[in-house]
Every structure is written in C-alpha cells, then in structure tokens.
Amino acid sequence: SHEHQNGVTRHHFNTGNYTRQPDTPIVDSEFTIFPPPSTVGDQYIGLLHKNEVSFEPLPEIRPRRQGKEISSSRYPPRPAYSTYGVTRRFSIHDWFDEPHFPRDQLQYLQEVGFGWFGQVVEGEAQNINPSERRSKVVVKILREDASPSQLASFLDEVQPYRDLKHPNILQLLSRCLESNPFLLIMEHCTQDMKQFLIEHRHDSELLLKGGQILSMMCDVANALQYMHEHGFISRDLAARNCFVTSSITVKLGDYGTSIQKYKDDYYYLGDIALPVRWCAPETVFCTETTIETKQLTREANV
C-alpha cells in the first residue's frame, strides 16, 4: 500500500496485511521514496505510437540466445533514484528528432550483462568514429515490454553522456530509436575502477608513490565539477560507476550493470536497489523499519 504525506510517498510492506505474490519474499519493513515517482513518461504514449511505422530490426546486434527468451525476472532491481522519473531538462523530442545510427553498421560480439532496463552487449560499429573504420562499442538495449515512463528513464539516465563532452566523462556515441528494440551506443571501456583497484591491491603502494591514485581521484573530481557546472548531478557516484582506460585515465559513467555485478553494494527491497552503505549521510534517513531517501544535491555528490 502507499500513502502521500507532505510530498513524500511512503510504500508500506507489512507481513500482517501484505498479499504475497509468487516468488516474492515476505518483507517486514517500510521503504519511502522522496520525491514521489513521476508519471512524466506517460505523455509520450501518443508520441511514440502516433503514425507508427514498423521496421524489421537487424539481428547482428542481438545475441543468439538458446532456449527460452530472457524473462523479466533476470533483470536486476532498479536503482532507487531512477524511480523519481526524469529530470526537468529532459525532452523526448531531443532524442527522436535527431538522426539515428544505421543498424546495419552494428555487429554483436558478446554479452556484457543486464540492467533494470534490459540487456547490455559489446559490439562493433562501422564509421561511428571518424578516425577509425570499425570501433568497439557497448550497446544498451531497452527491453521491448518497457513502458513509456521506463523509456523516458532509460534515455534520461544517459543524458549527461550525450550532452557533456569531457575527457573524464563516458560518451554516448549514437542511438537507434527508429524502431524496437531501442539501442543506445556507448563508448567502449573494459574495466570499472572498483575492479581495477581490487586487481591492483597488491600494487597499491606503487600506485600511491607513482601518483596514479591521486591522478585517478583528480579525474573523478574534474568530471564531477564539469557535471555540476552544467546542471547535472551523479545519481550513484562510486568506483564501480567509473571506468579506467588503458592509459589509467578515469571516466565517470556506467552502463547500468553495476547492480548485477556488485550485488553486495546495494540494499534491496522488491525491485528497488539502494547503495545505503555508500550514500552521503544527508541523503538517507534510516530507522529500524524505514529508509527514506532524500533529494540528491551537489554537496551529497562531493
């Protein structure tokens, strides 16, 4: 059940009056989301389906699955802060009015993982980078049963990577939104910063003395400052959501797979995941039965 009070939507889960759905764990707690979830995406239903033209999607970017199709139960929970809806600057027209990348110039290589939105794969794109004929890319694939509001969140999550051009921020290279499945084509990086630090924990003293650790932290700070200057706030700033390049340069950004990869970094309630342990203290209020998430700020990012 849920109730609205003082601008806060409270979602109650109580074993006394909670009707358990199949395969749903019984939870005796309360989870609060602030501000209330947005329904802004519902306005896009008419836009997406008015005079709709269907295109046969090319198969190269989609993995050749064996057996049954992936069910929704295989998708990780959704980040708590993505349930707020889209940011004020979001416009669906910005995404659909611009040219789309030709699907026949994409080739699937291998699966990377899953996010709440669907699948993430590694691929190759032809002529997406002026300096090379074929480029490795990472493609986020929105599942075809996504609602209009989920589509809006899917696009809004990567808007900083589309709008900001900075050496320490991951880049959205292009997209394919002319037909299902919707694809977002991201800059390719192989290793997140948490993985890098774990693998180099025995070399940490050398990395410290050589200045690499300090340089990496400066890269993150530079990226964050640039985001703040242009009106963006990171929703989950963490080493797992940064990438390290071959030149030990750090890029802030992620593919949406960190919840699947680092399950122990999050607290879960139903289909919502919150990195309680890593949140700024002022962004969460916890009691024995309640977790209330507050609005993110630049100071919380810092």
Ramachandran angles phi, psi of 106, nearest 5°: -110, 140
Catalytic option among 156, 192, 236, 254: 236
What distance in Å separates the CA atoms of residue 181 and residue 145, rounded to the nearest whole number?
Answer: 10
Q: Tell me, letter by letter, the H, E, C secondary structure of the chain.
A: CEEEECCEEEEEECCCCCCCCCCCCCCCEEEEECCCCCCHHHHHHHHHHCCCCCCCCCCCCCCCCCCCCCCHHHCCCEEHHHHHCCCCCCCHHHHHCCCCCCHHHEEEEEEEEEECCEEEEEEEEEEEECCEEEEEEEEEEECCCCCHHHHHHHHHHCHHHHHCCCCCECCEEEEECCCCCCEEEEECCCEEHHHHHHHCHHHHHHHHHCCHHHHHHHHHHHHHHHHHHCCCCCCCCCHHHEEECCCCCEEECCCCCHHHHCHHHCEEECCEEECHHHCCHHHEEECCCEEEECCCCHHHHC
Q: Which of 215, 166, 165, 225 is nearest to 193 (CA)?
A: 215
Is 203 designated active site? no
What distance in Å separates the CA atoms of residue 241 and residue 145, rounded to the nearest whole number?
Answer: 26
Is residue 140 marked as binding?
yes
* Annotated binding-site residue numbers: 140
* Annotated binding-site residue numbers for ATP: 140
Q: Which residues are catalytic?
A: 236
